[in-house]
């Protein structure tokens, strides 16, 4: 399968997550979209020919159906087989479906590591633990959806997990974390507190108490202790999110929390309003609720100094044994100077 480059419209509509990556590199479910295609291709002898946009989330069943080449049929008609991420909030809205499809794709024909006896499990047949993972003294309820624990991930004691859920490679759930599906904690993230129906892409931290619900957090982000978000308006009314394309707030349904772009950080006890959109490399602090739209390279109410922004990103990456690459710097420079 060949994945086409993002159109300008796809990139614009999926801001902030396509400011620093192609749509195909968005994580939804357990894998990124690109990783899904790779896994599916490994199992199929007749992949779908041609090019498809990167925001199409495939399943094995859908690719097999398409490969039959039945003419005159809408290949996107059956929403149980394929999803399209048209807006950033579609990532958490379709995450339940994607988790179930990825779980099947990754685990079919394979044997899970033994679940340690210190844990309490429900529907253990829907739990898969990869090699090197540590899971002790926790409750895992997979009756509501599968639970996937990735390679070398760790579930510390006292965690309560309700599927569908994925803890990806090298990620950590700290003691006493409460997780409701459908939630994905991406590779090398650290998560704690209460989390519901959210996706963290990778290398980000929500390492303390606080609520994260119906939200998407990019890579290399940090939520300070006590940081929390609202995901439902007090009126239970329609949530609206800022659209850079339309230059206005657009409806996103009745539930939507925090959408945070890569390299952004929030100070301790930050309280995000329902439907807050945070750009790339923002340092969020100050009294009261932050604005519902925070532009790229914001430092509180000021503009981040570019050199200082790179220094701070580099410091955060060092904490996880990484450095800021030249390609990342070039992309950040482009974003910083974008009019």
Tell me if 27 sits within 8 A of 8, measured CB to CB.
Answer: no
| Three-class secondary structure of residue 53 per DSSP | coil
What pLDDT is recorded for position 2? 55
Burial 158-167 (b: 16+ CB within 10 A, else e): ebbbbbbbbb
pLDDT in tens, 124-145: 999 999 999 999 999 999 999 9
The CB-based long-range contact list for 131-135 (8 Å cut-off, 24+ gap) reads 133/167
Check: CB of residue 20 under 8 Å from CB of residue 331. Answer: yes
Tokens of 219: 């890579």
Q: State the greatest distance between any 2 C-alpha atoms of the chain, in Å, as a whole number.
A: 59
Structure tokens at 28: 């939804």
Instruction: Enter the pTM of the model.
Output: 0.95
Residue 275's pLDDT is 97
Q: How far is residue 207's CA from residue 266's CA, in Å, rounded to a whole number?
A: 12
Q: What is the pLDDT of residue 65?
A: 84
Using only the alpha carbons of the chain, give its radius of gyration.
20
Q: Are 129 and 166 in contact (CB under 8 A)?
A: no
- Strand, helix or coil at 17? coil
Q: Give the C-alpha separation, 219 to 119, whole Å.
A: 30
In the chain, residues under CATH classification 2.160.10 are 120-336
Task: Say what the pLDDT of residue 48 is.
Answer: 56
Class of domain 120-336: mainly beta
User: Cis peptide leading into 247, omega within 30 of 0?
Assistant: no
Those residues of the chain that have pLDDT short of 50 are 1, 71
């Amino acid at each position: 399968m060949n994945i086409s480059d993002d159109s300008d419209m796809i990139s614009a509509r999926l801001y902030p997550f396509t400011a620093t990556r192609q749509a195909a590199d968005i994580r939804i479910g357990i894998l990124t979209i690109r990783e899904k295609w790779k896994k599916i291709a490994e199992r199929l002898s007749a992949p779908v020919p041609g090019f498809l946009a990167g925001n199409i989330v495939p399943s094995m069943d859908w690719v097999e159906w398409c490969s039959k080449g039945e003419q005159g049929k809408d290949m996107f008609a059956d929403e149980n087989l394929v999803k399209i991420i048209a807006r950033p909030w579609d990532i958490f809205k379709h995450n339940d479906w994607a988790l179930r499809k990825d779980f099947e794709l990754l685990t079919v024909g394979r044997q899970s590591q033994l679940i340690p006896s210190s844990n309490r499990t429900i529907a253990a047949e829907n739990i898969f633990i990869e090699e090197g993972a540590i899971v002790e003294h926790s409750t895992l309820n997979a009756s509501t959806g599968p639970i996937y624990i990735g390679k070398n991930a760790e579930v510390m004691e006292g965690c309560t997990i309700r599927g569908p859920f994925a803890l990806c490679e090298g990620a950590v759930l700290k003691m006493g974390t409460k997780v409701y599906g459908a939630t994905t904690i991406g590779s090398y993230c650290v998560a704690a507190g209460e989390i519901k129906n959210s996706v963290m892409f990778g290398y980000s931290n929500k390492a303390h108490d606080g609520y994260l619900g119906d939200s998407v957090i990019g890579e290399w982000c940090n939520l300070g202790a006590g940081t929390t978000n609202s995901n439902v308006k007090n009126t239970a009314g329609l949530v609206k999110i800022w659209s850079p394309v339309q230059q206005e707030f657009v409806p996103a349904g009745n539930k939507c929390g925090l959408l945070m772009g890569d390299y952004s950080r929030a100070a301790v006890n930050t309280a995000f309003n329902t439907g807050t959109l945070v750009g790339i490399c923002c340092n969020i602090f100050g009294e009261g609720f932050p604005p519902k739209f925070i532009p790229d390279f914001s430092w509180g109410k000021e503009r981040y100094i570019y050199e200082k922004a790179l220094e701070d990103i580099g410091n955060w990456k060092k904490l996880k044994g990484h450095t800021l690459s030249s390609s990342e710097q070039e992309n950040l420079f482009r974003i910083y100077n974008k009019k």
